[in-house]
Structure 1
Amino acid sequence: MSPNAASAQPDKQSLQYIIRTGVAGGVAGCVAKTVVAPLDRVKILFQASNPDFQKYAGTFSGAYRAGKEIYQHNGVRGLYRGHSATLLRIFPYAAIKFMAYDQAHYFLMPTRAEETNIRRFMAGAVSGVTSVFFTYPLDVIRVRMAFETAPRVANGQPIHPSFLGTAHHMYLEGTHSLPPASVFNRFPMLKFYRGFTVTVAGMVPYAGVSFLSWGFLRSYFLSPNKTGHRPPTPMADLVIGAMSGVTAQTASYPFEVIRRRMQVGGLTRPDRWLRWSETVSAIWRSAGWRGFYVGLGLGYVKVVPMTAVSFTVWQGCKRLLDV
């Protein structure tokens, strides 16, 4: 490499580089989530065992009929309920995730020769855990908004879920019915971290496998000895992103089902914190091992295009922002 080429390489630890990679990741996350928001709404209803929609769970036609019912009763707004909270969460979440991945990748694998699958996995896992730690309360609020299919009634008037309204309702949830010594009365912010431990446990295989697949497939199919020195195309990014989504979703899906059930625990058991063991037992008793994969087919339909679009837009924005 010539001195001029070396000097043209960006400083990956500079503030400008970090901000640009964060913006690229945030935009990618918002675009990808908007594409699949209606599918996400239906999947949450299935995963959390919403009683109004359990009759549709388990088939692609059921997902279509569930979406059709939501549309008939609430229009397009019903399909995108909770999406405002999604965007508020996903921009910082995706920005932190991709930014943390770039930094972890540079720290663990500063040169191409040092890239290994275990290091790719570690970089992805670190980025996923870091991002979810800072944005988890926003995800819980989004899930609660998506779970509620009937508006609450106050003074005879229906109150449709809103981001601030749902957050306020969750903060006050059980305030008068719980004993003063209750953990939720002493630390009300814990209500916004229901299911956090299982989320972290699921994020490690999801983000780790996702970025491992992304890095491995790009190095295998797009290495210079196979493509010369042509830059990767958006179509290549799209296909590799889709394949990464399939492997990551398969590896982490049971954790996602457990997490959704724990996140809506404020509606089913507002008096206390739901534990892993009782959530897993409840799922097993009601549906056996299949209960941990309810909605997986719909999950593929959602995650594959979402991951593909996310990685593609991320790479496109990085090229546009010269990072």
Structure 2
Amino acid sequence: MAPPVRSRYSRIPKEKFSAYFGPLKSQPYNDSTSRGGSHHSLRTLAWNPLGTLIATGASDKTLRVWNPEKPNVRFSTELKGHTSGIEKIAFNPVKDAELCSVSNDGVVKFWDVRTKACVNEVKGLGNTHALAWAPDGSSLLVGNRAGELFQLLPTKSSVVSSHQQPVETNQMAFAWTGDKVFLPTNEGRVRILSYPGLEPVLHVNHAVKPDESTEFTLKGHTAPCLTVELSPTGRYLATGGADSIIALFDTKDWICQRTVSCLVGPVKSISFTFDGSYVVGGCEEGSGLEVTHTETGEHVHTFKTAGPCEAVAWAPTRYCLAYSDLGVLRIIGLDADRK
């Protein structure tokens, strides 16, 4: 039986989630022109703010923008210029056609996807692997594997400010207010820093030893924390670690409310549905994507995959999930919109 017709903005109750998605088939987007063949590694995915485009970045330097409604590669756009693998991409949250990409070639590029033009670039940033836009789209933070953070402007070809962190930081996220940023570290903790000053926002309320910091950090992992994601409602901050766990922190009191432990392998990406009701993690190992109900921690559905899915991204306006599977972009939920 076909899934019921559903408005892209309406919420699916958790008891109906699996029944809704069970009959749906994923749509593959095969890049036959990729330099790494059909199994080139897709490291990062990004929807534009309206959900009308999705970009993919791969280890073989391929950066491509797809129309979700047209899976044939001839309807996509390749953006050429990086000389090493693409590590992270993200659209400007307030501009539908402005895309930023970072690569371990040390270059950050800004693209106009309508014209395929690189409209700005910042060079010499080292082995960059993390990227987050401020919510107003006016600036962004880029991080490299040496623990350096760089504040950039999309219209300026030099660094606005740089900050050396005491420990390597991974994929970060901004608070929706834009005045704070969440930095996951290889120590398994998450720092909460002001923006743009990048100073600790919270401090412990008990005495510490003279040589210890009073900075308050979120502790949810026994291994490096690799990624963080704030829910669209702002209620939860999800953190993913190399210990195969997603921890969900309440942003009111910063207590870890629940953990998701059904995952396999290090959690490299996290994504919430547009309404914040469900969360999914992308892992380096395993053969499936586990969807969890945010408020209760209940497992609601497993999307079967052919292999590990390192990159995952729910669409910003509807129940469509994009993910990488054996180097191929797949999206599930589009056919439900057409019924």
Q: Which interval holds the TM-score relative to the shorter structure?
A: under 0.3
User: If each structure's strand is expressed as a fraction of its own residues, which one has the higher value?
Assistant: 2
Q: Which has the higher contact order (CA 8 A, sep 6+)?
A: 1
The structure whose residues are more often helix, as a share, is: 1
- Considering only CA atoms, is the larger Rg found in Structure 1 or Structure 2? 1
Output the TM-score relative to the length of structure 1.
0.25
